[in-house]
Structure 1
Amino acid sequence: MEIKTRSWFCKPQTWSVMARPAKIDEGVGSRLAQLREPLNRKEFAEELGVPDSTLGNYERGDRWPDWNFLEILKAKRGVNLNWLFTGEGEPQEGAGKDLARKSNDSIVRLPRFDARASAGNGLVAVNQMPVGDVAFAREFLRNLGANPEYCYVLEARGDSMWPTIPDGALLIADASKREVDDGRIYHFNVTDKVLVKRARWAMDGKLYLTSDNQAAGYQPEVFTADRVHELSVGGRIMFTGHAPMPLR
């Protein structure tokens, strides 16, 4: 029987890993407006896949940009978050400058993050800015059911998802797919950890982050509505790339 996603988990825009002051620095809002030029706010909101009203709240300083929104800015525009919050440096740095340029019709360059998502007990995300990019054919990503404009690349570490995802595998995740469906694999951010786990919904509404390598004895991590602030979804894992695995 298919278990549908629980409603408390379908609103990632309400989650944030940052403190929320009553009124954010007006400079953040003005720099957001600067990023969208020459687009108007509605056009920029449509490009990012967020409501125009939400973007308006961010630009006016009525709301603090949440982590999901910031991840979209990084993935689609290669935004330097240090610049966004402090005004120091360039709007795009390093690989982000290349990411900000429009790809041609057949190829898209996906940002690659130095966040080694743990397929084990969890690794701390050391660097949340892209360290490079990887070119893929848009048609290849579409055939996977992914949205090429929202995809990104990260690396798996650990053996808890073996044999589905071996240690060292490169993963393509889709940041537009954050609604958690039962049985699918996602990149999760849990407090200060980056995890790749399979989602399982229980009949009582609890969400279990489970491992495929049951023989290794990994215990699932359980989330209820009162723990939602600890958890955010980076995106659904759409593709796993790895070298041929040795026999076990």
Structure 2
Amino acid sequence: MKIPLSDEIAARVEARLAKFSLSWTKLDLDPLRRATSFKVVVLCEMLGGRTKAADAVELTDNTLDNYRHGKQDPTFATLEMLAEKVGIAGRYLGGEWSFEKGSIRIDLSGDGAAGTTATSMRPPGLMDNPPAPYLHGYDEIGPSAALIEHYWRRLGLDPASMSAVLAEGDSMMPTIADQSPVFVDTADRNLADGGIYALRAEGRLIIRRVQRLIGGGVQLLADNAAAYPPQEIGEATLADLEILGRVRSAAVAC
């Protein structure tokens, strides 16, 4: 996807990227924070500059400058609001952004070019579905309870049924790391084929992917299959399996 800019806006974007990229290099920003700062700079200029952008999302000029320099990360809600003010759908925030010949190029494939490309990343999101856009720093801001509820509702989940547990061990690597917070939908315990579930076996929490077997029963599969062989649960003993719920999301270290 390409968003053509007017000559005036393109010139401002180019000048601001040149200015702020010096800060990014000086601060030795990691690619994720650099990617977020890149997007803030572009969106600010598309809105008419720092002051107009700050007014549009009710921030101070200094706060917006911290975002542009990469000293702080905006919340996802703030960045989404900036994008919506210029007519860019929130789903495009998870793509790789670059400035090319007077246009903003957004690559959702994850195969964007290097250099000025703003590399983003995506966590598992809804584990069984396409990943949701993710922006570096969202998990660092200590979001309010209302914001967390809004996040679950946007994913089509009932906030009241969501519970958090800590993953133990490396059985689900690389999908879920050891000691990662894992978010479980306790209202969904139906063991859908291909779903990831939190289970309790012999008093120990395990997280496994489920494969339904012909004729009844399931196999519990670890993503780290080389170290953890499949475990078959027959139809006769399936009712004895303690199912905590379906894993819907997991935190990603950054």
- Bucket of the pairwise TM-score, normalised by the shorter protein: 0.3 to 0.5
TM-score relative to the length of structure 1: 0.42
Higher relative contact order (CA 8 A, sep 6+): 1
Could you say which structure has the higher strand fraction?
Answer: 1
